């Protein structure tokens, strides 16, 4: 499987991507992978799915699985 290049973000202490394009590619791959696993298990309940990507203060891009319900405006 081809991997999308990523880098370590010291600010967030997690994996990050150097550009939005890579983050969006990784997001697409993660979603495909997760939905296949969900089909196999027969349910999506309890599965964390990354559904957004965002730019952090360090200028890197991260994925987040937060749903709208968990985001306070």
Residues that bind Zn ion (CB under 5 A): 9, 11-12, 16, 56, 58, 60
Instruction: List Cα–Cα distances, 46 to 13, 23, 49, 59, 62, in angstroms.
Output: 24, 23, 9, 31, 21
Residue 17 CB, nearest approach to Zn ion (Å): 10
Residue 70 CB, nearest approach to Zn ion (Å): 19
- Comparing CB distances to Zn ion, the nearer of 5 and 32 is 5
- Comparing CB distances to Zn ion, the nearer of 29 and 55 is 55
Query: What is the rounded CA–CA span in Å between residue 34 and residue 13?
Result: 23
């Amino acid at each position: 499987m081809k991997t999308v290049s990523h880098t370590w973000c010291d600010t967030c202490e997690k994996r990050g991507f150097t550009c939005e394009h890579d983050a969006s590619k990784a997001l697409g791959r993660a979603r495909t992978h997760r939905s296949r696993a969900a089909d196999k298990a027969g349910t999506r309940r309890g599965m964390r799915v990354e559904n957004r990507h965002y730019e952090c203060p360090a200028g890197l891009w991260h994925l987040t699985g937060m749903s709208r319900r968990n985001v306070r405006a």
